């Protein structure tokens, strides 16, 4: 209750509700000005949107939900997360102010300049304000894709009603409201306010830019280095959303063909440099083009480039071999997403750019993420890491003809932010792009650790939080006979000291229209005994102490089944942990269909 009281007081100070206190309160609020602005800028655009509507425009959660055409519970949870995030951003500042105020009060009290707090007259009272609970309405149109819009709010009389029965005592001050116009459009005289995603720009061929103030660059010209053994070519470089992606091609000459691992090592980028700043890659993925050609893509995160219309020059990439390639980048044109067909929903949106290419209908399909914890998987209808796309998108013509799409150059773990789809031969005209569902992913904010005692098959009876859901242990069973659904190699030719367990985990998502589809990163760790010299043979060293694998995921019963085997001479079954690391991925399927009208023009 005390924490809730302090929280409401803090909200009142920031958003200018009845605080009172005269000149001293005005000074205190003024001192918070810079820090409040900094805390506001740390919020995501969709978080700022709800804060503005709730506290600047005086809208209730129900009114916000109706205006944004979102479910009531969704807006309620987003509002809570936004305000708590703002509170965490301000906590350090408020702590410093409290310490400073306490020191100042002690000095003034010591010199008898002010009386003790107990003798102060209190001309105002704090009032705890809480919005009354509203019963969420039944959202029955979940299968319908609706544009996310904010209507112009009605003008409200902000003056105090003297007949309302409310009594205000003490002095009041003009509240400070941080200016968010740099971050968010205000309604004013516009007929409608664009959503956060409608402020994005798109650079066809490169992706969606979530901050139009930031540049998009691409490689000006391919560059190569060559010697007697191989040729290294910088094929592509792109920069968008503070991420630089570099594609390198290695052509190994026939007379000097090496082991593929050695070839990958030769083409690995050590770092890239711009204006004396050095970045190292966070992720890479490679593939063989033919018996002499390799292609590898490197991703560099948290890159910051200046916005220069003419482009930037004198960048350099350093390879492991010590060779380097210097290159320039040119500016890429950005266009508003509102100039293309798109639709948005609760967890994001889809942008489609169609074209006819040699009589074939090709559609570039871009995810529109709203900055929330869910991200749309680039292949849209394919789960994260799926080896192939079994079911795809379709396009319907005006005459009812259906064209099935095939994802072009799909790769499960590539660095693409979007994909193009081939729908076969088609003519100019009006079509509808049909997307049956959208796959999402979310990263864990912190490590998830589930302890187990396999000796007595016990565990803590609790649930563990995942983004918008939870996971828990359903079953842990020791096995003496191989189950029928276990592979033979997992059971045969094992030492007599080996133990086997079946472990089942249950999971759930708070949104029934967005069930969990997979976990990417579940691992197992067991405490190991000190190795005894008698067992320290080469054969035993090559045998793992334990092995943990995912066997199946049943989306109907929302159950994951794992198989675990461990050498009980070397691994302690009492100290077992199943875990996922921070930033590991959880997959979801958003069961909302999209139907996007397209006007396909002929070749120009």
pLDDT band at 157 (very low <50, low <70, confident <90, very high): very low
pLDDT band at 146 (very low <50, low <70, confident <90, very high): very low
Mean pLDDT across the stretch 570-586? 91
Closest CA relative to residue 560, chosen from 503, 502, 505: 505
Q: CA 602, CA 604: separation in Å to the nearest integer? A: 6
Q: Residue 269's CB: how many other CB atoms inside 10 A?
A: 21
Q: What pLDDT, on a 0 to 100 scale, did the predictor assign at position 103?
A: 65
Closest CA relative to residue 73, chosen from 142, 146, 165, 21: 142
Q: What angle do CA 561, 565, 570 make, to 5 degrees?
A: 145
> Does the pLDDT at position 115 exceed 60?
no
Higher pLDDT among residues 267 and 168, named by residue: 267
Q: What angle do CA 30, 33, 38 make, to 5 degrees?
A: 165
Mean pLDDT across the stretch 145-162? 37
Q: What pLDDT, on a 0 to 100 scale, did the predictor assign at position 434?
A: 96
* Cβ atoms of residues 556 and 435 within 8 Å: no
Per DSSP, 384 falls in state T
Out of 45-59, 321-335, 414-428, pick the least confident. 45-59
How do residues 226-259 score in pLDDT, each as one tens digit?
888 888 999 999 999 999 999 999 888 766 556 6
Question: What percentage of the chain has pLDDT greater than the value 90?
Answer: 38
* Cβ atoms of residues 460 and 587 within 8 Å: no
Q: What pLDDT, on a 0 to 100 scale, did the predictor assign at position 141?
A: 41
pLDDT band at 67 (very low <50, low <70, confident <90, very high): confident
pLDDT band at 420 (very low <50, low <70, confident <90, very high): very high
Q: Are strands 324-331 and 217-219 parallel, antiparallel or unpaired?
A: antiparallel
Closest CA relative to residue 472, chosen from 444, 454, 451, 501: 451
* Cβ atoms of residues 60 and 68 within 8 Å: no
Mean pLDDT across the stretch 192-217? 83
Q: CA 329, CA 334: separation in Å to the nearest integer? A: 15
Crossing angle for the helix pair 33-41 and 22-31, to the nearest 10 degrees: 40
How do residues 247-299 score in pLDDT, each as one tens digit?
999 888 766 556 667 777 778 889 999 998 999 998 888 888 877 888 889 99
Closest CA relative to residue 147, chosen from 598, 600, 595, 599: 595
Question: What percentage of the chain has pLDDT greater than the value 70?
Answer: 68
> Residue 197 CA to chain centroid, in angstroms?
15
Closest CA relative to residue 145, chosen from 362, 368, 467, 469: 368
pLDDT band at 494 (very low <50, low <70, confident <90, very high): low
How do residues 518-553 score in pLDDT, each as one tens digit?
898 899 999 888 866 554 444 444 446 788 888 888
pLDDT band at 167 (very low <50, low <70, confident <90, very high): very low
Strand stretches in 97-242, DSSP E: 150-151, 192-193, 201-203, 207-209, 217-219, 223-226, 230-240
* Cβ atoms of residues 218 and 251 within 8 Å: no
Mean pLDDT across the stretch 64-73? 76
Q: CA 123, CA 65: separation in Å to the nearest integer? A: 38
Mean pLDDT across the stretch 17-21? 46
Q: CA 387, CA 414: separation in Å to the nearest integer? A: 11
pLDDT band at 366 (very low <50, low <70, confident <90, very high): very high
Q: What pLDDT, on a 0 to 100 scale, did the predictor assign at position 215?
A: 95
Q: CA 479, CA 500: separation in Å to the nearest integer? A: 5
Rg (CA), the chain: 30
pLDDT band at 495 (very low <50, low <70, confident <90, very high): low
The residue to which tokens 């292949």 are assigned: 379
Q: CA 76, CA 54: separation in Å to the nearest integer? A: 11
Mean pLDDT across the stretch 464-475? 92
Q: Are strands 201-203 and 335-336 parallel, antiparallel or unpaired?
A: antiparallel
Out of 149-158, 302-311, 417-426, pick the least confident. 149-158
Mean pLDDT across the stretch 309-318? 94
Q: CA 210, CA 179: separation in Å to the nearest integer? A: 21
Q: What pLDDT, on a 0 to 100 scale, did the predictor assign at position 180?
A: 39
């Amino acid at each position: 209750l005390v924490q809730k009281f302090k929280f409401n007081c803090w909200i009142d100070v920031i958003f200018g509700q009845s605080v009172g206190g005269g000149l001293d309160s005005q000074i205190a609020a003024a001192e918070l000005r810079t820090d409040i602005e900094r805390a506001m800028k740390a919020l995501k655009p969709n978080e700022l949107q709800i804060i503005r509507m709730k506290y600047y425009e005086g809208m209730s959660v129900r009114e916000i939900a109706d205006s944004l055409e979102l479910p009531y519970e969704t807006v309620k949870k987003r509002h809570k997360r936004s305000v708590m995030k703002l509170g965490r951003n301000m906590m350090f500042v408020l702590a410093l102010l409290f310490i400073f105020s306490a020191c100042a009060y002690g000095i003034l009290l010591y010199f008898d300049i002010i009386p003790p707090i107990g003798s102060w007259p209190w001309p105002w009272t704090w009032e705890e304000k809480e919005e009354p609970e509203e019963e969420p309405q039944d959202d029955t149109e979940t299968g319908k894709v609706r544009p996310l819009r904010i209507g112009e709010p009605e003008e409200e009389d902000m003056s105090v009603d003297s007949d309302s029965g409310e009594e205000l005592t003490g002095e009041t001050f003009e509240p400070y409201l941080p200016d968010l116009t740099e971050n968010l459009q205000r309604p004013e005289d516009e007929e409608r306010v664009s959503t956060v995603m409608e402020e994005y720009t798109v650079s066809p061929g490169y992706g969606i830019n979530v901050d139009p103030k930031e540049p998009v660059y691409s490689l000006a010209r391919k560059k190569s280095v060559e010697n007697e053994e191989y040729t290294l070519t910088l094929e592509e470089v792109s920069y968008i959303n503070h991420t630089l992606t570099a594609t390198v091609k290695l052509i190994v000459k026939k007379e000097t063909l090496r082991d593929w691992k050695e070839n990958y090592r030769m083409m690995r980028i050590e770092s890239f440099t711009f204006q004396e700043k050095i970045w190292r890659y966070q992720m890479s993925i490679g593939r063989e083009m033919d018996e002499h050609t390799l292609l590898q893509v490197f991703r560099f995160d948290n890159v910051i480039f200046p916005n220069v219309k003419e482009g930037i020059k004198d960048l350099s990439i350093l390879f492991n071999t010590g060779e380097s390639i210097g290159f320039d980048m040119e500016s890429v044109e950005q266009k508003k997403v509102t100039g293309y067909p798109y639709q948005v929903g609760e967890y994001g949106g889809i942008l489609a750019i169609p074209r006819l290419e040699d009589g074939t209908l090709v559609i570039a399909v871009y995810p529109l993420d709203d900055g929330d914890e869910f991200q749309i998987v680039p292949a849209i209808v394919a789960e994260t890491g799926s080896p192939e796309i079994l079911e795809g998108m379709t396009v319907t013509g005006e005459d009812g003809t259906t064209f099935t799409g095939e994802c072009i150059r799909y790769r499960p773990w590539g660095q693409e932010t979007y994909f193009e789809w081939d729908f076969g031969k088609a003519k100019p005209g009006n079509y509808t792009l049909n997307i049956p569902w959208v796959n999402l992913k979310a990263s864990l904010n912190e490590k998830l650790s589930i302890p187990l005692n396999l000796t007595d098959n016990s565990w803590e009876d609790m649930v563990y939080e995942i983004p918008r859901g939870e996971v828990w242990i359903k079953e842990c069973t020791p096995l003496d006979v191989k189950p029928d659904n276990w592979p033979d190699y997992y059971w045969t030719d094992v030492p007599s000291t080996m133990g086997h367990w079946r472990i089942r985990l249950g999971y759930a998502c708070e949104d029934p229209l967005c069930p969990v589809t997979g976990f990417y990163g579940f691992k197992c760790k067991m405490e190991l005994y000190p190795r005894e010299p008698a067992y320290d043979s080469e054969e035993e060293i090559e045998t793992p102490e334990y092995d943990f694998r995912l066997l199946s995921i049943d989306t109907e019963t929302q159950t994951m089944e794992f198989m675990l085997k461990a050498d009980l001479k070397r691994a302690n079954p009492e100290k077992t942990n199943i875990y996922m690391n921070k930033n590991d991925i959880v997959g979801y399927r958003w069961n909302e269909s999209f139907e996007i009208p397209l006007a396909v023009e002929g070749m120009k």
